[in-house]
Amino acid sequence: MSDPAIDVRGLTKRYGTRTVVDHVDLRVGTGRICGFLGPNGSGKTTTIRMLCGLLTPDAGEGTCLGLDLVRQAADIRRQVGYMTQKFGLYDDLSIRQNLDFVGRLFELPRRREAVDASLERLGLTARQDQLAGSLSGGWKQRLALAACLLHEPRLLLLDEPTAGVDPKARRDFWDEIHRLAAGGITVLVSTHYMDEAERCHELAYIAYGKALARGTADEIIRDARLSVWSVAGEGAAALVEPLKQAPGVLSVAAFGNTVHVTGQDEATLDAAVAPYRDRSGQRWERASANLEDVFVSLIARADDNFGPRAAPP
């Protein structure tokens, strides 16, 4: 990977005695879309804020857009578009007024032209006089992305940008992300949706402050080396709770009418499911692990950085 947009090592952030980001390494090439995954409270948002210069790391080093993460944080902020989890613009301003305000913050020399271009790019021109507070989740998402792109950043940091929007709005959003990446913009996006993770060029998984997996979706699934059984049929859902308690079972998850039972060791997992496999009306078969199987199993094996970890759901 030549000239990575993000290249950090040992990134660490502490709040009191709690380490919320614990020596995380991350490298993302220019023009790549990297999915940033992990459970709530895993340190994703804190990592993103350190990358864009809003938080100073307590330890670690590296560069973002070729600029030193600590010494040149102000320069990084001017070249990064950061989209927060919650809508961060003004409800009582119109779409155009919000974009004009952001343009003033960045001191854009040709602000009106930049706002016009951003409205056109995100399909907001016809709604430019509508108050932001009256927009649906999908249109608010478009406005937030338009604001991120107004100053023509080289890197987009998107923190769960599609939470709470409908499937069509999510698909339209991802189509735009891929167009931006094709134009050379690098994207780091956190998400909980596995279908979105599969649309990323590569993935990084973090749990309880520690990086646990890195690579393409296929590489992560391969490297997890999970053994999986699937069961479908009458009463399959009733097996979830007892199987969770069985030795050698890392995770049990329902996918529609099918239940996936996952373990690290094939022989131990086979022994765990053996007492249930002769039940009538159920169909047991070996299955291939998917991303959700892998990530649920990673959570099950990770140590909570906020004290003793409860049993996985």
| pLDDT mean over 6-23 | 94
N-terminal to C-terminal alpha carbon distance within the chain: 38
56 found inside a domain: yes
Bridge-based pairing of strands 18-28 and 6-15 is: antiparallel
Domain carrying residue 263: 225-301
Last residue of a domain, one of 166, 200, 220: 220
Residue-wise pLDDT for 278-313, tens only, equals 888 899 999 999 898 898 888 877 766 555 444 443
Judge whether 119 and 146 are in contact, CB under 8 Å.
Answer: yes
Residue-wise pLDDT for 184-219, tens only, equals 999 999 988 888 999 999 999 998 899 999 999 999
| pLDDT mean over 228-233 | 94
- Rounded to whole angstroms, the Cα distance separating 276 from 204 reads 36
Please report, as a single letter, which amino acid is at residue 66. Answer: G
144 found inside a domain: yes
State whether 106 and 229 are in the same domain: no
Last residue of a domain, one of 168, 200, 220: 220
273 found inside a domain: yes
Q: What is the CA radius of gyration of the chain?
A: 22
15 found inside a domain: yes
Last residue of a domain, one of 186, 203, 220: 220
State whether 209 and 267 are in the same domain: no
- Rounded to whole angstroms, the Cα distance separating 13 from 54 reads 12
Judge whether 205 and 37 are in contact, CB under 8 Å.
Answer: yes
State whether 88 and 144 are in the same domain: yes
Bridge-based pairing of strands 210-215 and 202-207 is: antiparallel
- Rounded to whole angstroms, the Cα distance separating 19 from 47 reads 12
307 found inside a domain: no
Residue-wise pLDDT for 48-75, tens only, equals 999 999 999 999 999 999 999 999 999 9
State whether 175 and 288 are in the same domain: no
Global pTM value = 0.88
pLDDT at 295: 87
117 found inside a domain: yes
